[in-house]
Structure 1
C-alpha cells in the first residue's frame, strides 16, 4: 500500500471563492481538482464520504458507516482507499479498526472551487 497521495489543496492554494465564475482555473489546479471530483463522482463514495463527514465526533470506523450501503465490505474498503488517495479522507488504525476523518481543508477547497459570492452573482 502506497502512502503517496495528492496533497490536500487548501482553498487559497488553487482557487479563490467562485474561481470558476471569474476566470478559468490553471491547468495545474484543474489536474489537482479533477482527482477530487472523480473520487466523489461515484454514488457509493459520495454516500460514504457524507456519512463520515456528518458522523458524531467527525470520525467513523467502517462499522459506523457501512450500514445502509448495499455493497460488500471489500468494495467499501476499496471506495475508502480511493477517497484517501484523493486526499479527501485521513485514516488512523486503532487495534483492529480503522477510523476515518474528512481531511482538513477538503470541503473548503471544493467549496472555494465551485462556490460563488454576492459580487459574482451580481455581475450576471
Structure 2
C-alpha cells in the first residue's frame, strides 16, 4: 500500500482504515519495518511518513517469490 500510493509514501493515518487496525498497532509494525531497513521514516511536524527502501524491497522479492503483495505493480 505504501509503495503503490500516489507519492510512494504514507502516514499511519492513511493505513488505519484500509487495514482495519488501530494506530498503535500499525505504528508498532512500521517501527519494526524501519528498524529492519525495509521502510524509511521521515518526521514532518506531528506526523511520520513512511516510504519503501527500494533496494530492500528488491531483496525481499528475490527471497520470497510468489506472493502478490511482493510483486511489482504493472
Q: Same fold (TM over 0.5)?
A: yes
Are 1:77 and 2:27 counterparts? yes
User: How far did 1:69 drift?
Assistant: 1.7
Structure with bigger strand share is 2
Unaligned runs of 5+ in 2: 66-74
- Determine the structure 2 residue equivalent to 1:61: 11
**Which secondary structure state, in structure 2, belongs to the residue aligned with residue 53 of structure 1?**
coil
- Provide the residue aligned with 2:53 in structure 1: 103
Q: What is the number of residues matched between the two proteins?
A: 65
**Alignment partners' CA distance in 1, 2:44 and 2:11:** 10
1:87 counterpart = 2:6: no
Q: SS of the residue aligned with 1:100?
A: strand
Q: Which runs of 5+ in 1 are unaligned?
A: 1-50, 116-124
Q: If the length of structure 1 is used for normalisation, what is the TM-score? A: 0.47
What does 1:1-124 align with in structure 2 at a 5 Å threshold?
Answer: 51-114=1-64
Moved segments of 4+, more than 6 Å: none
Match of 1:38 in 2: none
RMSD: 1.5
Which structure: larger Rg? 1
- In 2, Cα distance between the equivalents of 1:56 and 1:89? 17
Higher relative contact order (CA 8 A, sep 6+): 1
Greater helix share, structure number: 1
